[in-house]
A and B are shown apart, each in its own frame.
Chain A
Amino acid sequence: MKSKYQLAVIGGGPAGMAAALSARKKGVEDIIILERDKYFGGILPQCIHNGFGLEYFNQELTGPEYATKFIDQLIESDIELRDETMVIDINSEKEITALNKEYGVMKISSEAVLLAMGCRERTRENIKIPGDRLAGIFTAGTAQRYTNIEGFMPGKDVVILGSGDIGLIMARRMKLEGANVKGVFELMPYSNGLIRNKVQCLDDFDIPLKLNHTITRIEGEDRVERVKVAEVDNNLKVIPESEKWISCDTVLLSVGLIPENELTKGIGIDLDFNTGGPKVNELRETAVSGIFAAGNVLHVHDLVDWVTEEAEIAGRGIAEYLNGNRAKRKKSLQLEAGDNINYVIPNKIDFVDTSRKFIKLFMRVNHPMEDVEVHLNYNNKVLLKYNKDFALPGEMLTVNLPEKIFNKKMKKIKISVKKKEGEGINEK
């Protein structure tokens, strides 16, 4: 096995696959993808439901089908694919330490690195649900892997905490496989999942969704036997009189995802508090020159289609980095989150590129609003406004920032979401 590459991609999920292919198309040679699982595709092969690809392929696909489109291209390419290979360290010199059965400990050095490790689910320990330590408590994604890849049913009487998409999808999956799904409990006053999933996974099967609810205790002998659920008030505090026990043998948690950045931290790259990922410029390059990041390791996406789009941006950025074909701005242009914006990706614009027409901004809002305007502000003046029918925390908000409207002198553009002027004060 070689020890020097132009590009090493850490993770063979949708981001790693698309970035490697796009870098290859742009002329990058000697690419390796290091994947810790037995197969490529990341989490997609266990997401057996349909609904993928509508944005990118204009076609409705299941997760495995979406993954196969990229896996097939990789197999036909000259990109080196290493599965069951675990990267344990990367340093700022872009030296990588990895392990696999065939070679033991390997050292690889690469001119560029793409971080594409994806994200992890928050666990019971993360959210600190009191009670007994028992079998039968799973993150929704773990239960999904057991059910869809390994062929085990996690349990019979299921309570789901959290209305994220994986929770909703697993409610339907458990029901279809014969389980009794007693309900989905969501702390917030709104569902965090896509509307389509709420309708087709819960309503279709009469599975109740209880908003403003949480689990306050889990009890049992060896296995979960019951959970205590309660309503919460406007400050998300438990209303003690509302507590009641529900008997069940399984608890699935769909309570958020955290970008998996242990390796990133090891390089010495600081993480952004709001995204949980590294800060990046418009090419998805981190604070360390030549180290890029894309996909859920950077910020958690709701659609894989946008992971692919972002990874292709990174792939092109890597090619430009390796070609030395880029002109740096004197000062970075910072893109700052304003009213009702949680974060903006990219965090800043570092390069001058007259050939590009616009830079697409990916954003997430803090709370739901209808009939809004997205404002781009420079020096407290509105540069540009975009109308949107709605802004929801569960759906990525995107706008195109035209190259024409910003110049070399600008240091900061602030993005805010405002209620559309002149109409409606009936926001719920």
Chain B
Amino acid sequence: MRNNNIEEVICVACPKGCRITIESKDDNIIDISGYSCEKGKNYAKEEFENPTRILPTTVRVSGGEFPLVSVKTEKAIPKERLLDAMDVIAKLEIKAPINNGDIVYENILNTGVNLIATRRVAKKDG
């Protein structure tokens, strides 16, 4: 049995940065307070129930004009999987040429989300 729990999140919907308090019992929200707008309330709810983030990072490239290509998860993935995703991405190496938007890796950690390139990397001259 879990007891009443109080959690604070700082809203990032705008620069005001409201401190929003979420009171919950057994993972169910009882009350949200401290927000100044509807965006903030929704953000707090989502941060409590399922916090997700887009993961931007790089992948090694062979035969390219640059040694790395910047990539991101096409959609946000659960926040607690970010470091696990980095472990997978650390082992990747892809071949140039790469286009902006190319899928670099499919369905990372079975999240249903693809990793895509965010930059063009041409083949190395010669």
A150 at the interface (CB under 8 A from B): yes
A195 with B118: in contact, given A176-B57, A176-B83 (CB under 8 Å)? Answer: no
Task: Report the Cα distance A182→B79, complex, angstroms.
Answer: 21
Within 8 Å CB of B97, what residues of A? none
Determine the residue in chain B with the shortest Cβ distance to A67.
B119
With A148-B70, A176-B83, A204-B79 already in contact, the answer to whether A195 and B10 are too (CB < 8 A) is: yes
Quick check: is B56 within 8 A (CB to CB) of the other chain? yes
Contact flags (1/0) for A282-297 with B, using CB distance below 8 Å? 0000000000000000
A421 at the interface (CB under 8 A from B): no
> Closest CB of chain B to A171's CB: distance in Å?
14
**In whole Å, how far is A375's beta carbon from the nearest beta carbon of chain B?**
21
Among B15, B55, B71, B118, point to the contact of A390 (Cβ < 8 A). B15
A58 to chain B, nearest CB (A): 15
Q: Using known A-B contacts A45-B70, A50-B72, A176-B83, determine if residue A148 contacts B10 with beta carbons closer than 8 Å.
A: no
**Interface code B51-82, partner A: CB below 8 Å = 1, 0 otherwise?**
00111111010000011101110000001001
In the bound complex, what is the Cα–Cα distance between A50 and B116 (angstroms)?
Answer: 13
Whose C-beta in chain A lies nearest to the C-beta of B55? A176
Interface residue from B16, B60, B79, B119 paired with A64 (Cβ < 8 Å): B119
Contact status B56-A62, CB under 8 Å: yes
Q: How far is the CA of A62 from the CA of B69 in the complex (A)?
A: 13
Complex CA–CA separation, A176 to B82 (angstroms): 8
Q: A176-B86, A199-B10, A395-B15 are in contact. Are A50 and B68 (CB under 8 A)?
A: no
In the assembled complex, A258 has its CB within 8 A of some CB on chain B: no
Chain A 175-204 per-residue mask, 1 if CB under 8 angstroms from chain B, else 0: 011100000000000000011101110011
Bound: A142/B15 CA distance, A: 27
**Closest chain A residue, CB of each to CB of B70:** A48
A151 partner, pick from B11, B67, B118, beta carbons under 8 A: B67
Q: Which single residue of chain A is at the shortest CB-CB distance from B101?
A: A65
Kindly state the separation between the CA atoms of A390 and B18 in the bound complex, as whole angstroms: 12
Check if B12 sits within 8 Å of A195, measured CB to CB: yes
Cβ of A252 to closest chain B Cβ, rounded Å: 18
Q: How many residues of B contact A (CB 8 A)?
A: 27
Chain B residues 110-126 with CB under 8 Å of chain A are 118-120
Q: A203 CA to B8 CA in the complex, in Å?
A: 12
Question: What is the CB-to-nearest-CB distance from B77 to chain A, in angstroms, rounded to a whole number?
Answer: 13
B58 partner residues in chain A, CB cutoff 8 A: 48, 147-148, 151
B100 contacts A by Cβ under 8 Å: yes
Residues of B within 8 A of A65 (CB): 100, 118-119
Select from chain A the residue with minimum beta-carbon distance to B60.
Answer: A151
**Distance of B24 from chain A, by nearest CB (Å):** 19
**A98 within 8 Å of B (CB atoms):** no
Structural contact, B57 and A194, CB atoms closer than 8 A: no
Central interface residue in B11, B57, B60, B67, by most chain A CB within 10 Å: B57
B54: A residues at CB distance < 8 A: 50, 60
Partner of A204, one of B53, B86, B118: B53
Question: Is B15 in contact with A392, judged by CB distance below 8 angstroms?
Answer: yes
For B10, list chain A residues within 8 Å (CB): 195, 198-199, 203
Q: Which residues of B contact A63 (CB under 8 A)?
A: 70
Q: Which residues from 137 to 185 on chain A have a C-beta closer than 8 Å to any C-beta of chain B? A: 147-151, 176-178
Q: How far, in Å, is B106 (CB) from chain A's closest CB?
A: 19
Task: Report A387 CB to chain B, min CB distance, Å.
Answer: 13
B72 x A195 contact (CB < 8 A)? no
CB distance from B12 to the nearest CB of A (A): 4
Residues of chain B contacted by A196 (CB below 8 angstroms) = 12
Establish whether residues B12 and A50, one from each chain, have CB atoms under 8 Å apart when the complex forms. Answer: no
Q: Is the CB of A200 within 8 A of B86?
A: no
Collect the chain A residues with CB atoms within 8 Å of residue B55's CB. 176
Residues of A contacting B79 with CB < 8 Å? Answer: 204
Given known A49-B56, A68-B120, contact A199–B12 (CB-CB < 8 A): yes
Q: Which of A64, A68, A200 has the most CB of B within 10 A?
A: A64
A49 contact set on B, CB distance < 8 A? 56
| A50 x B67 contact (CB < 8 A) | no
Assembled-state Cα–Cα distance A389/B57 (Å): 34
**Distance in Å: Cβ of B79 to nearest Cβ of chain A:** 6
CB distance from B81 to the nearest CB of A (A): 12
C-alpha spacing A62/B58, complex, angstroms: 12
Q: What is the CA–CA distance of A262 and B118 in the complex, to the nearest angstrom?
A: 33
Known: A176-B82, A195-B15, A389-B16. A68 touches B100 (CB 8 A): yes
Whether A151 touches B72, Cβ cut-off 8 Å, given contacts A68-B119, A195-B10, A389-B16, is no
**Separation in Å of the B45 CB from the closest CB of chain A?**
16
The 8 Å CB contact of A148, one of B15, B53, B68, B120, is B68
Nearest 6 pairs between A and B by C-beta?
A: A195-B17, A64-B119, A48-B70, A196-B12, A151-B67, A62-B118
Residues of A within 8 A of B (CB): 45, 48-50, 60, 62-65, 68, 147-151, 176-178, 194-196, 198-200, 203-204, 389-390, 392, 395
